[in-house]
Structure 1
Amino acid sequence: MTFKQIFPIFLFVFLTFSITAQEIYVAPAGSDSNEGTKKLPLKTISAAQKMAVALLESGRETEVIVWLDGGTYTIAEPLEFTPLNSERQDLRLVFKAQKGESPVISGGAEINGWIKNEDGLWEASLPDALKGMDNFRELFISGTRAIRARFPNEGFLHVKKAGEDRRTNFFFEKEDFPIPANLEGLELVFLHDWSISRIEVKEIDATNSQLFTVDSIGAKAPAFFAIDNWEPNPRYFLENAPEFLDADYEWIFLKGQQKFLLKLPESINPSDLNLVVPISEGLISIIGKEDQQVKNIHFEGIVFQFSKWGIPQKGYCGVQACHFDPRPSTKGWAVVPAAISSVWAENVSFTRCSFKNLGGSGIWFGTGSKNCKVIDSELVDISGNGIMIGEGQDRIVNGEPWWKSAPHQVASGNTIENCTITQVGAQFYGAMGIWAGLTAETSIKKNHLFSFPYTGISVGWMWSPVPTPARQNTIEGNHIHDIMNILSDGGGIYMLGLQPGSKILYNRIHDVEVNAGKAESNGMFLDEGITDVLVEGNLVYSIAKSPLRFHRATVNTVKENYFFCTDGNPPIRYNTTKEEDIQKVDNKVFSEGEPNYQKELKKQITRWEKKSIKPGGR
């Protein structure tokens, strides 16, 4: 019998025996022909989801808990949640790890059958089940991201001179890099101040030392995304050619031959490793409607691992915060999608969960998402943004931008609390640990964010003081450090646009690098349009430039902060901002070299640690 034939029998059993009606059990060793009891568990989460939905829609149950045993649940496409066929608003669906277990929802496929070739490299053909897929951008070796073969192996090359159009080509120093015999799949990774481009190489003129790409390097708009508008000799590297495969744990995928090449240390055999490529484009997709939200879905203690995203055909050309120029479309900016996404969702939560090895962004509470939460969780090794809340400006409703014609659609009341977020921006360096666009009443509290190529937390998405639905967002008690490691013109906290009643409170920010871009990076950077924001009680130190910077801001309050300044840098930098508009109250400023600098810094760190509940995830 098929699952469709026997499913009504399962449902009858669950509705008849109320003692088990609220619980469904799933285990990798189970079977979808089982009843879903603890002794006879189902095998797949999708089967459990169907059973749970039927139970809730029957009207007999108000809550169903799906218990997941330990092990891996592999999916090839996202698990999709849509509104229940019920008028009740209190129905709850919970997916929960069994006690002591860490079930994994995986969108990856293992690559086996590795053979060593005459060049000392390991080869593996694409499994039959994956035939037709050719855009493999990531390979994970026992849970660690492997490096797609690049040149140079570390650091960057530098543009010698931009080409005539300043957009599609540039000159390089002769013999800067080995010129690949086959340019198919060769990718240029080009650094702008606060974003990057990843775009295929069309031609390399070895005689004139000139490189051409398949389209514009950098976003086509704004106009300042020209090759030579950034660093004097912008940084770049090249990726994905056999000639670059010269370091251990580097790999490439050869499209034409449908096989992987991998370099490993002599003592390592791939049969002893777990080699996985992401194949599912997302893991969880929650899709409601404005008049029918998806409500009350909760995930507890689950690991979400391996998710795929392939860049557009003509390249990824970033604008800011993993928003990019969606070629060939001209319909505004797009954004790197997330493994976990929701629109028109209410009261959705992830508690004590882990998100790792993801090819796009991590989590996105999008349009109309309300009162959704990520609590006590960790996000590690994410290609794009860690967590996204809300949206940008471009969506159109009734012929106008949504924030003008339908401001009630704003994502509101969402919370990120006590999470650990690290190693975001693994592919797309302009990523944020937490990005909140045009949002309202968002709470970002007591999180630990570190080891980023760019900014820690970003809230706002309007480069002017024009009113939008953004308001009353709070960034409180977060520990942010070791950021701005590659790009520039950002900070531990970045805030943008008019969002009255918003607050930056009691955060600890330190170890913010200085970079080669045109603009400096700061502990906190409050950008264009910022008005009526309270900056209070923050501890900021070990910042290469000023602890706080305003740019085209208006009236704001800076109160009772502790700013520890490096030599020659003021506590607050004012760019096109009237200093008298910034109300400063009882701030404590210490300059490097003062006799009590280190003593006071140590005192304030201790005070912050005692005052704060130590932030961090599961």
Structure 2
Amino acid sequence: MTTSSVNGFFLILNIFLLSCLSPGETEFYVAPAGNDANSGTAKKPFQTIQKALEAIPSNEPGNYVIHLADGTYFLEKPLLMAADKFSNSESKLVLKAVEGASPVISGGNRIKGWQKLNDGIWEAKIQKERSPTELFIDERRCTRARFPNEGFLRVKKAGDDHRTNFFFEEGEFPVPTNISDVELVFFHDWSISRIGLKEIDFQKHQLTAVDSIGAKSLSFFNIDNWEEHPRYFLENDKAFLDMDFEWCYDSNTEKILLKLPVDQNPEELNVMFPVSEGLVLINGTKDQPVKNIAFEGIKFQYSAWKIPSQGYCGIQACHHDSRPESGPWEVVPAAIKAEWAEDVLFNNCTFQNLGGSGLWISTGCKNCGVNNSLFTDIGGNGIMVGEGQDRMVGGEPWWKETPGDVATGNSVKNCTVMQCGVRFFGAVGIWCGFTAEVNVKSNHIYDLPYTGISIGWMWSPVPTPCRANVVDGNHIHNIMNLLSDGGGIYMLGLQPGSKLVNNHIHDVRINAGRAESNGMFLDEGTTDVLVANNLIYNIAKSPLRFHRATTNLVKENYLFCSPGNPPIRYNRTNEEDIQKVNNLVLTEGDESYRQQLEELIERFAD
């Protein structure tokens, strides 16, 4: 063999060996009509996503792709991706739709076996342990039977303890057929309570809840603190079932009742209710975070969350009292939650018809994100990033003891977030608690009962791990539709280096409670924040409001005011602490108001 032949042989051998040693891409295919006894190939796909996950070796280097064919993948419990399998930094997992497909990961269950009663009402048996709190027909949320059908009732007078009971007007609502199933939905300024009833005394015209209405730990949640005659309505009883597509559940008979138009049969409709409490759990640990997982082109649909037996009493942004015992605040859970995860991404996904919140990028997450995705018809918050203040480490709040745990470098970009807070009206479109270097950019957020974006979680300028958070170029409108004391963007706490820039905010409705609502509400402790180049108009009150804030820079904003409302409201804030530079301020009725507004709207739309 010649020298050149020998060299050529070893070159080919080296290429072969390198190709064998380099981690390749391993593909698995899943289809609803597949079989878990199959090999998981394109021609012989698995039937369940869980089987495909099990086929991936634990923490071995390599790139893995799970292709999902068109159709629905039903879950009884969430898919789990844990650190013992998905923490190798040299591995990557992608779950993606087959080209042209629209796969759905569903926690729902179809209701069958309907029996017709009278007046267009149908019934079906559902065991008590699965009793639904939500119902959907062809992806449309049905109304849980309520009184009144529209608008609200008003408390006549609070009871003596101002917490557990109140008086109502005689004949104000129908007598319920099963009081133990009725839910009181009670409005506070910026949150609500959903709580069961202990008693209705129709002689005294007095209603008593099973526990305190409103958070126990905060005295200002007294029934009549904000409004003398606060709003409420009642939900889930046959006596309230009087409109098409309303429904209720009777725990005594274990039957669901549904009212339909006379020409419709529920057996011919896709009537669904959520059964799985969550859809995906990504559970890493501090020492071993889950890494490098991506979801592409997947719809996440139908996830259940039932309120605690002693009621849901919201405090803010879906944080609520722990019940029955008082303790740290709890949070309405998300259908998809990542904890101690790095480089986990959701691209071109849909989050829809969910009972709790949508997606939560939680404790210890780094460089995770959601892009170009839709969030709609969600019970709680749409997207959550970071965590609150209650977790303890070594007997101290985590943000004092281990501030490095803070969620860092995560992002929400180019998403549409709408119709969140459909069960828990104090929810927000995008909630960011204790976070660092979060980037909330170019999202479209609208049709919400409360605030669009909330960022920060400390009601004082006490130093926390929060820093360098950016809210940039978001379009936020038609919000604050039910509650008050919020805004397009709500911010609080010390967050050095943070920016609210280039946002387009409009159509913030007049507040329904005591406190006003604004384009941006910079609440307690907001310090050293840049507010620049934002367009704010059609605001019932002031475009900007500061409350117990300290030094901040407001620069080159476009603030369009309604008559009688200043561009900036200062509540317990020294006006001289807010530096104002080159802001354009116009009041409706000014000569150039309409022309300049139209020009700016066109510019911000580009």
Give the TM-score range, shorter chain. over 0.9
Question: Residue 354 of structure 2: which of 355, 358, 362 is its match?
Answer: 358
Could you list the per-position Cα deviations for residues 42-67 of structure 1 after superposition, in whole angstroms to 9, with x for gaps in the alignment? 10000001112x1x63x4x5110000
Whichever residue aligns with residue 93 of structure 2, its letter is L
2:363–2:406 Cα contact (<8 Å) kept = yes
Matching of residues 480-499 of structure 1 within 5 Å: 480-499=476-495
1:516, 1:563 → 2: CA distance?
23
**Is the alpha carbon distance of 1:44 and 1:263 closer, same or farther for their aligned partners in structure 2, counting shifts above 3 Å?**
same
Does structure 2 retain, via aligned residues, the 8 Å contact 1:480–1:509?
A: yes
Q: Which runs of 4+ in 1 moved over 2 A?
A: 16-21, 84-88
**Corresponding position of 2:35:** 31
Q: CA deviation at 1:523?
A: 0.1
**Preserved contact between residue 138 and residue 146 of structure 1 (Cα < 8 Å):** yes
Is the alpha carbon distance of 1:19 and 1:403 closer, same or farther for their aligned partners in structure 2, counting shifts above 3 Å? closer
Are 2:71 and 1:71 aligned? yes
CA distance in 1, matches of 2:86, 2:478: 48
Unpaired stretches in structure 1, ≥5 consecutive residues: 1-15, 611-618
Q: Which moved more, 1:255-264 or 1:102-111?
A: 255-264
| Residues 134-160 of structure 1: CA deviation (Å, up to 9, x unaligned) | 441000111011011000000000000
Partner Cα separation in structure 2 for residue 349 and residue 567 of structure 1: 45
The aligned residue for residue 51 of structure 2 is 47
Q: Is contact 1:218–1:317 with CA below 8 Å preserved after alignment?
A: yes
CA distance in 1, matches of 2:580, 2:460: 23
Q: Which whole-Å deviations, capped at 9, do the CAs of 1:353-407 have from their partners, x for residues lacking one?
A: 0000000000111110111100000000000000011111110001100010010
- Secondary structure in structure 2 of the residue aligned to 1:393: coil
Q: CA deviation at 1:273?
A: 1.4
Give unpaired runs (5+ residues) of structure 2: 1-19
Q: Verify the 8 A CA contact 1:560 1:586 in the aligned structure 2.
A: yes
Query: Is the Cα contact below 8 Å between 1:566 and 1:592 reproduced in 2?
Result: yes
Instruction: State the alpha-carbon separation in 2 of the partners of residues 119 and 85 from structure 1.
Output: 55
Task: Find the partner of 1:400 among 385, 396, 402.
Answer: 396
Please give the alpha-carbon distance, in whole angstroms, between the structure 1 residues aligned to 2:367 and 2:227.
42
Whole-Å Cα distance in 1 between the matches of residues 562 and 51 of structure 2? Answer: 58
Q: CA deviation at 1:331?
A: 2.0
Look up the equivalent residue of 1:65 and give its one-letter code: V
Deviation at 1:270, TM superposition (A): 1.3
Contact 1:134–1:255 under 8 Å retained in 2: no
Say whether residues 1:155 and 2:159 are aligned partners.
no
Alignment of 1:176-195 (within 5 A): 176-195=172-191
Residues 453, 485 of structure 1: 8 Å contact kept: yes
Output the amino acid matched with 2:26. Answer: Q
Equivalent residue in structure 1 for 2:253, among 242, 253, 257:
257
Alignment correspondent of 2:305? 309
Q: What's the counterpart of residue 115 of structure 1?
A: 115
Within the candidate set 272, 282, 287, 1:276 is matched to: 272
Q: CA–CA distance in 2 between the matches of 1:561 and 1:268?
A: 54
Q: Secondary structure at the match of 1:224?
A: helix
Aligned length: 588
- Could you say what secondary structure the match of 2:381 adopts? coil
Corresponding residue for residue 423 of structure 1: 419
The higher radius of gyration belongs to 2
Counterpart mapping for 1:142-541 below 5 A: 142-541=138-537
CA contact (8 A) 1:301 1:351 kept: yes
Tell me if the contact between 2:409 and 2:436 (Cα under 8 Å) persists in the aligned partners: yes
Note the C-alpha offset of 1:84: 4.0
Mapped to 2, the partners of 1:117 and 1:239 lie a distance apart of 21
Could you tell me how far apart the structure 2 residues matched to 1:323 and 1:220 are?
13
* Equivalent AA in structure 2 for residue 41 of structure 1: P
| Structure 2 equivalent of residue 558 of structure 1 | 554
1:269-318 CA-partner distances (Å, limit 9, x unpaired): 21231100000000000111100000001100000000000000100000
Structure 1 CA distance for aligned equivalents of residues 136 and 360 of structure 2: 23
Shift of 1:20: 9.0
TM-score, normalised with respect to structure 2: 0.95
CA distance in 1, matches of 2:314, 2:483: 13
Confirm or deny: 8 A CA contact 2:311 2:323 kept in the other structure.
yes
**Identical-residue share of aligned pairs (%):** 60
CA distance in 2, matches of 1:340, 1:370: 16
Letter in 1 for 2:29: Y
Secondary structure of the residue aligned to 1:73 is strand
Contact 2:157–2:228, Cα closer than 8 Å, also in 1: no
Counterpart-to-counterpart distance in 1, 2:450 and 2:76: 31
Deviation string 1:547-566 (CA, Å, 9 cap, x unpaired) is 00000000000000000101
Instruction: Name the CA distance, whole Å, in 1 between partners of 2:37 and 2:172.
Output: 61
3-state SS of paired residue (1:455): coil
> 2-side partners of 1:315 and 1:428: how far apart?
12
Scaled by the length of structure 1, the TM-score of the pair is 0.93
Partners of 1:282 and 1:252 lie apart in 2 by: 23
CA–CA distance in structure 2, aligned partners of residues 221 and 574 of structure 1: 28
Q: Distance in 2 between matches of 1:161 and 1:590?
A: 43
Q: Distance in 2 between matches of 1:312 and 1:501?
A: 39
